[in-house]
Amino acid sequence: MKNKRIKILKKRISFRMVLVVLALCTSSIIFSQEKPFRIGVKIGFPNVLGGNIEYVLPLLDNKLSISLDYSSLKADSYLEEGETAKVNYFLGGLNYYFSKEGKGLYGGLSYGAFKGEGTAVDVYSNDDTKMDGVGKIDLTNNSMNVLIGAKLGGLFYFRPEIGFAFSGFPKNIDMNVTFPDGSTEIQSVVDAEDIPSIVSSGLIFNIGFGFAF
């Protein structure tokens, strides 16, 4: 009976030792880089205004990180009754810091997904023979991106970024209009000459700031 208790005690001690070792290994991985978590805000294009989360991985001398951006904006309250406007943007990718662990100059590779939706009411036809049309705008743009930026600061940081989307925004934005009699018409909302080349070329730029912990 005594030997049985000793064996049970040894098993419990061994199990606790395993848990302690696992805890130490996990903590050493998570906290191998000072302040590996970052949470902040970015303002620019095409994200407009949104949040950013970054985590520095314990890989490549703590110079590789995962970064996520997300924006979701509505402008319904500023429009006429029945009209809507909404923009969603998501970006996910990897950043590599060139000289220091998780700070300073870095380059990034990411995938961005932009979606803009809008509804207009009381739309006239192009030849003014029909009225009370309802227009729908659906703008989707997905692209692989390259970025270069810099994380400056410690607990509170500042982050400028500039980059290029391989699939630039379309040069024309059209609206599909449906009239009460069931007929439809495609109308141009924004023409190519109205869109700055800096936008349609695929340029990405933003300024971010936040906290690291």
Domain 35-212 fold: Porin (2.40.160)
* CA–CA dist 208, 157 (Å, integer): 8
164's tokens = 């290029």
pTM to 2 decimal places? 0.76
* CA–CA dist 62, 37 (Å, integer): 12
* Residues 22-42 pLDDT 10s: 544 444 444 445 689 999 999
* CA–CA dist 90, 114 (Å, integer): 7
Q: State mean pLDDT over 117-145.
A: 92
Element (H, E) at 51: strand 48-56
* CA–CA dist 180, 128 (Å, integer): 14
Q: What is the pLDDT of residue 112?
A: 95
Q: Which residues of 154-168 are buried (b: 16+ CB within 10 A; e: fewer)?
A: eeebebebebebeeb
Lowest mean pLDDT among 22-36, 169-183, 192-206: 22-36
